[in-house]
Amino acid sequence: MMDIPIWEHFLFAAMATCGFSIFFNAPKKLLLPSSVVGGVGWIIYLVMSVHFDNPLVYAFTAAIFIAVSSEIFARLLKQPAIVIIIPGILPLVPGISLYNTVLYTIQKKYELAASTGTRAIIVSIGISLGILVVASLSRMFNIYKLKKAFSSNDSNKYISWVNIGKIRTNNTYVLNKAEMNDQLNSMNLEDIEEDKCKSKPENSFVEEEIICDESEKTSDIKNKQDSDS
């Protein structure tokens, strides 16, 4: 495959990625970023396949690049990363290896079928692991930002970070309250509240005691009035 110039590899991979993006009804503003990501990802896969014998290494590396680039473009363009990841990894899918595996099996060349099929499986595992690692790290980063935004009582940042990864429309997105409660419950907010209570000055506790005493007095007065009436 290295007989073909690198720029042709990039061009054809980018065109294939763009075609899959159109097939999946991706927004028009994502066609160029997804094409670039798919083309560069294929170049990384191709170049590393020449220098490394283990297909897991270059499949994993190319998938890492595609997933990281997709997450970056998703945040810049306010779109879900999956819309870029899926078309971007399709040039890496070992379709020809799977085809040859079936062909060798039909021709009763079982040794070639086993080696080719094993290589295709290893490439698929490398692609899956690369996407999984980046997706997990991205989720951890989002949760960290959510905790930070909530602890600083910044509701705007909280809502914006909850909405990351969701499909944006022309209408204003309304945060689902059930989803918001689930996110809050997963943040260990009790620990945050305990830390806040520990950090309060003594004056604040005195003020709270005064307020509680006044509320108790008013309730006692109301009870006496009710009993007299």
DSSP structure string for 104-167? HHHTT-HHHHHHHHHHHHHHHHHHHHHHHHHHHHHHHHHHHHHHHHHHTT-HHHHHHHHSTTSP
As a whole number of angstroms, the distance between CA 13 and CA 56 comes to 20
Q: Quick: pLDDT tens for 194-222.
A: 554 555 444 444 444 444 555 555 555 55
**In tens digits, what is the pLDDT along the chain, a chain of 229 residues?**
567 788 888 999 999 999 999 998 888 888 999 999 999 999 999 998 888 888 899 999 999 999 999 999 988 888 888 899 999 999 999 888 999 999 999 998 999 999 999 999 999 999 999 999 998 888 888 777 767 766 665 555 556 655 554 444 344 444 555 555 565 555 554 444 455 455 544 444 444 444 455 555 555 555 655 665 5
Q: Quick: pLDDT tens for 113-128.
A: 999 999 999 999 999 9
Query: In terms of pTM, does the model score above 0.75?
Result: no
Helix axes 31-51, 6-23, angle to 10 degrees: 140
For 22-50, give one letter per residue: b (16+ CB within 10 A) or e: eeeebeeebbebbbbbbbbbbbbbbbbbe
Instruction: Evaluate whether 110 touches 104 at the Cβ level (below 8 Å).
Output: yes
Q: Following DSSP, what letter does each residue of 27-43 receive, concatenated?
A: -GGGHHHHHHHHHHHHH
As a whole number of angstroms, the distance between CA 79 and CA 163 comes to 10
As a whole number of angstroms, the distance between CA 178 and CA 139 comes to 19
| pLDDT for position 223 | 60
CA-wise closest residue to 123 among 186, 185, 63, 198: 63
Q: Dmax of the chain from CA atoms?
A: 102
